[in-house]
C-alpha cells in the first residue's frame, strides 16, 4: 500500500457473535498483500476519549506509532511513557480472514461499546468502528447539526440502499 492510500466513506456493519468485524471491501482492497503474497497485519486499538475502535493497516500504523513516540524513539518522560502505555495496552495485531473480517478481543469491543448496528468510517489513515448510538451522541456533543443522519443512513443501507456489498 502506498502511504497516499486514503480511507473514506461510511458503511453499516455488525459485529458477529464471534467478535468479528468486516473491513469494508473498498477499504481493504487499498492494502496490498506483502511481497510474499501473505496478508499484511492490521492493528486494532481503542481511541480514547472518542470511545471507538480504530483499525490501521501495517504501513499506516508504523507512521502513527512513529508520530506517537516522537523523534527520540523512546519516550523520555514519565508522562510520554504513560501516553504510550495508554495506547499500546489497548492495541493488538490482527489478520484478515478469507472474508475480510478481523477478530477483535472482547475487552476491546466492550471498551469501544461496539454492539448493535455499527458504522465503519474511513478516516484517512485508518478505519473507525462506532456504535450508531454512540456516534450520534458524540456528534451531538461536538455540535454536529444533524447527528440523527447516522441512524437514517444505516437504516437505508440495511434495507436496500447503497452498501459495500459484504460488510454485514
The pTM (predicted TM-score) of the whole model is: 0.80
Measured distance CA(24)–CA(96) in Å, rounded: 11
Q: Please give the Cα distance from 161 to 157 (Å, whole number).
A: 4
> To the nearest whole percent, how much of the chain has pLDDT over 90?
30
Domain boundaries, the chain: 10-158
Question: How far is 158 from 19, CA to CA, in rounded Å?
Answer: 20
pLDDT in tens, 101-145: 999 999 999 989 998 889 999 999 999 999 998 888 888 888 876
pLDDT in tens, 136-168: 888 888 887 665 666 665 565 554 444 564 544
Place of cell 499506516: 60
Q: Decide yes or no: CATH 3.40.1550.20 for domain 10-158.
A: yes
Instruction: Estimate the share of the chain in helix, then strand, then coil, as percent rounded to the nearest 5.
Output: 30, 25, 45
Amino acid at each position: 500500500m502506498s502511504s497516499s492510500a486514503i480511507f473514506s466513506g461510511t458503511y453499516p456493519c455488525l459485529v458477529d457473535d464471534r467478535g468479528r468485524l468486516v473491513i469494508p471491501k473498498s477499504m481493504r482492497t487499498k492494502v496490498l498483500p506483502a511481497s510474499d503474497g501473505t496478508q499484511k497485519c492490521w492493528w486494532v486499538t481503542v481511541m480514547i476519549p472518542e470511545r471507538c475502535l480504530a483499525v490501521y493497516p501495517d504501513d499506516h500504523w508504523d507512521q502513527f506509532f512513529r508520530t506517537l513516540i516522537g523523534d527520540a524513539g523512546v519516550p523520555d518522560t514519565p508522562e510520554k511513557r504513560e501516553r504510550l502505555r495508554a495506547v499500546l495496552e489497548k492495541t493488538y495485531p490482527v489478520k484478515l480472514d478469507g472474508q475480510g473480517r478481523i477478530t477483535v478481543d472482547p475487552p476491546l469491543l466492550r471498551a469501544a461499546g461496539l454492539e448493535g448496528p455499527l458504522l465503519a468510517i474511513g478516516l484517512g489513515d485508518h478505519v473507525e468502528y462506532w456504535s450508531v448510538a454512540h456516534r450520534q451522541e458524540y456528534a451531538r456533543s461536538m455540535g454536529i447539526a444533524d447527528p440523527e443522519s447516522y441512524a437514517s443512513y444505516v437504516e437505508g443501507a440495511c434495507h436496500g440502499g447503497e452498501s459495500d456489498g459484504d460488510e454485514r
